Amino acid sequence: MASLAAPPRAARKERAPQWTRQAIIVAVLGFLYVPILVLIIFSFNTSYLSALWTGFTFHWYRVLLQEPVLLHSLGVSVEVAIIQTIISTILGTLGGIALHRYNFWGKKALVYFLYIPIVIPEIVMAVALLIYFPHVGVPLGVPAMVIGQTTFTIPYVVLVVRASMAGFDTTLEEASRDLGASELQTLWRVTIPVILPGIVVGALLSFSQSFDDFTTSFFVDGSGNTPLPVQIYGMLRHGVNPSVNALSTVIVAATLIIVLTGQRAQRRRAQRG
Amino acid sequence: MVFFFAIPNLYMLFISFMQVGGYGGVVYHVTLSNYGLLFHWIEFKVIADSLLFALLVTLFCLGVGYPFAYIIATAPPRKKIVLLFLVIVPFWTSSLIRTFAMMFLIGTEGFINSVLLSLHLIHQPLDMLYTLGATYVGQFYSMLPYMILPLYASLQGIMDHPEYMEAARDLGAGARKTFWRVVAPLSIPGIATGSLLVFIPTLGTFFIPLLMGGGGVVLVGNFIENQFLAADNWPFGAAASALVIAITLLLIGFGSRYMNNAFLEEGK
């Protein structure tokens, strides 16, 4: 193919006029970001009612800290997210490794099956759980939210871990076994450290999915355990108020940190792969 | 190891069967009347409206997302990383908060109205929020990154193999023809994945129509929620829910032939 010894040609760019490209970039990014930026800017606005700039303040953040209801909701959300992330990361990691390592009957169907909870409309799953939980004695509230969310976070972890196993050099495991390590030692000392970036990405994904989860929690949170997104929803239904802006800004900032961490972990993964 | 893996998944399998079991358990006798009721005019209209809504949102996302994904895929490396990052951030941001941001922007006392009023361009606030149009905008806003990312993954895969496009050029195809005859067909997996990732959640959406449609917009998600939490007719809600599942599975089954599974497995 390369018999003509032509220098490797770089991908020729489709020559859409440069200004069209710029215009599309500006339009799409503007559409994605202007609402969020406006929201953030106005969380520092002094006026309660108007969406016109009247002056800079941290007042709404202070209001936030004095809301026991919100702080309670934050606590519920964090609690659920942490428990949920631990469970789904452990089970998902083991699942991902198993799925990569073993071949068994129905494996293909199982992988296909994993996608279903990810894509199925969450509300369908949520009402199914609402019907189902009382039958098996799972109390509505934190346990129900944890179990409900793991149904769609475990598949994410499994898929991400399985993908990082794909770039894994299995001779490392063989070497470890040859040196006398047990199966468990090999898993813990060799396999897991190597695929750790993938596990971290899976865990972060799982955490943020849980922390942001509205639909499942909305149906199964029971009473007295309102997590943050459901609380925010309630506030939105009663009209906009600037402390919701402040709260949203905090959550967006947290999301940004999670994404940056995830990106870094992924880059490390890419370097190793 | 297989057991660790099998247990949560069997659990999931179990749950998925319980949907039907729970439904039967509530009624205490088997009946098809709930499904029959779905075909009554109002319910049928809700379902038809939802399908139309999901279809249009998917098409909008595709129309806007495709050129943008294409631009990212063909951008110089440094710029590509920045653009990609800027799409991933909203992808990870809570859609409830993004919906709120949109409400704040277009509400009666929102940012746009305030600016226009203070500039005396309008004298009455525009009624943008709490309309069907607002629901479309909100859903589109929420789903756009879900379209762009798989499209990008697919287009990037094509750009990694410039020989296809070079072959087309060497055979005398112009840029336009190369795109339509080579790049576009090769990107079908991305189109299928993105469309499913937008269509299916949109079909089941419920808080966006509630918050942005202001009660005037009732889609099947709202209908299900209403049957479960307000009307207390669980079997009816479950029947609607089962219908949504059936549509979903049908689409996945159909779409998986074209889908690009690699996207999800890359973990974004």
Mean pLDDT to the nearest integer, B85-104: 89
Mean pLDDT to the nearest integer, A156-164: 85
Q: What percent of chain B has pLDDT over 70?
A: 79
Angle CA A271–B4–B7, to nearest 5: 125
In this structure, is residue B9 part of a structural domain? Answer: no
Q: Is the pLDDT of residue B12 over 50?
A: no
| DSSP-assigned beta bridge partners for residue A171 | none
Q: What is the pLDDT of residue A269?
A: 62
| 8 Å CB contact of A233 and B266 | no
Residue B218 belongs to domain with CATH number: 1.10.3720.10
Show the tokens assigned to A148.
Answer: 């409900």
In this structure, is residue B2 part of a structural domain? Answer: no
Inform me whether the C-beta atom of residue A114 falls under 8 Å from chain B C-beta atoms: yes
On average, the pLDDT of chain A sits at 82
Q: Which of A129, A131, A152 to mutate to test the interface with B (most CBs of B within 10 A)?
A: A131
Q: Is the pLDDT of residue B20 over 60?
A: no
Inform me whether the C-beta atom of residue A61 falls under 8 Å from chain B C-beta atoms: no
Angle CA A63–A66–A69, to nearest 5: 110
Q: Is the pLDDT of residue B243 over 80?
A: yes
| 8 Å CB contact of B100 and A39 | yes
Half-sphere exposure of B174 (CA within 13 A, CB side): 2
Distance between CA atoms of B265 and B253, rounded to whole angstroms? 18
Higher pLDDT, B147 or B166: B147
> Which residues does A140 contact at the CB level (< 8 Å), separation at least 6?
A133, A220, A221, A222
| 8 Å CB contact of A110 and B9 | yes
In this structure, is residue B18 part of a structural domain? Answer: no
Q: Is the pLDDT of residue B195 over 60?
A: yes
Q: What is the pLDDT of residue B6?
A: 44
- The identity of residue A162, as a single letter, is R
Inform me whether the C-beta atom of residue B74 falls under 8 Å from chain A C-beta atoms: yes
Q: Is the pLDDT of residue A80 over 90?
A: yes
| 8 Å CB contact of B206 and A123 | yes
Closest approach of chain A CAs to the CA of B122, in angstroms? 15
Show the tokens assigned to A66.
Answer: 């004095």
| DSSP-assigned beta bridge partners for residue B189 | none
- The identity of residue A264, as a single letter, is R
Q: Is the pLDDT of residue A273 over 50?
A: no
Closest approach of chain B CAs to the CA of A121, in angstroms? 5
Give the pLDDT band (50/70/90) at residue B10.
Answer: very low
Residue B100's domain comprises 37-265
pLDDT for A6-31, tens place per residue?
444 444 444 557 888 889 999 999 99
In this structure, is residue B96 part of a structural domain? Answer: yes
Q: What is the pLDDT of residue B16?
A: 45
Q: What is the pLDDT of residue B61?
A: 96
Tally of domains within chain B? 1
In this structure, is residue B256 part of a structural domain? Answer: yes
Distance between CA atoms of B132 and B142, rounded to whole angstroms? 15
Mean pLDDT to the nearest integer, A42-48: 82
Q: Is the pLDDT of residue B29 over 80?
A: no
3-class secondary structure, A56: strand
Q: Which of B89, B186, B210 to mutate to test the interface with A (most CBs of A within 10 A)?
A: B89
Q: What is the pLDDT of residue A31?
A: 93
Give the pLDDT band (50/70/90) at residue B250.
Answer: confident
The number of beta carbons lying within 10 Å of the beta carbon of residue B41 is 7
Distance between CA atoms of A53 and B111, rounded to whole angstroms? 10
CA-nearest residue of chain A to B174? A14
Higher pLDDT, A125 or B266: A125
Mean pLDDT to the nearest integer, B222-237: 78
Q: How far apart are the first and last CA of chain B?
A: 26
CB-CB neighbors (< 8 A) of B252 in chain A: 115-116, 119
- Dihedral angle at the C-alpha atoms of A82, A88, A93, A94, nearest 10 degrees? 120
In this structure, is residue B15 part of a structural domain? Answer: no
pLDDT for A203-257, tens place per residue?
988 998 899 899 999 988 888 889 999 998 888 877 667 788 888 899 899 888 8
Q: Which of B1, B94, B261 to mutate to test the interface with A (most CBs of A within 10 A)?
A: B94
pLDDT for B108-156, tens place per residue?
778 888 888 888 888 888 888 888 989 999 999 999 999 999 899 889 8
| 8 Å CB contact of A123 and B211 | no
Give the pLDDT band (50/70/90) at residue A180.
Answer: confident
| 8 Å CB contact of B115 and A52 | yes
| 8 Å CB contact of B92 and A259 | yes
Closest approach of chain B CAs to the CA of A32, in angstroms? 7
Q: Is the pLDDT of residue A32 over 80?
A: yes
Q: What percent of chain B has pLDDT over 90?
A: 22
In this structure, is residue B1 part of a structural domain? Answer: no
In this structure, is residue B131 part of a structural domain? Answer: yes
Q: Is the pLDDT of residue A134 over 50?
A: yes
Predicted model pTM: 0.83
Walk me through the domains of chain A, giving residue ranges and CATH numbers: 18-57 (no CATH), 68-272 (1.10.3720.10)
Kindly report which listed range (B91-100, B143-152, B162-171, B187-196) carries the lowest average pLDDT score. Answer: B162-171
Higher pLDDT, B169 or B60: B60
ipTM rounded to 2 decimals: 0.81
Mean pLDDT to the nearest integer, A169-183: 83
Size of interface A-B (CB pairs under 8 A): 263
- How far are the Cα atoms of A163, A232, B101, B211 from residue B127, in angstroms, in the given order? 48, 23, 17, 14
Inform me whether the C-beta atom of residue A53 falls under 8 Å from chain B C-beta atoms: no
Mean pLDDT to the nearest integer, A105-114: 75
Which of A50, A154, A229 lies nearest to residue B94, judging by beta carbons?
Answer: A229
Give the pLDDT band (50/70/90) at residue A79.
Answer: very high
Q: Is the pLDDT of residue A143 over 70?
A: yes
Q: Is the pLDDT of residue B26 over 50?
A: no
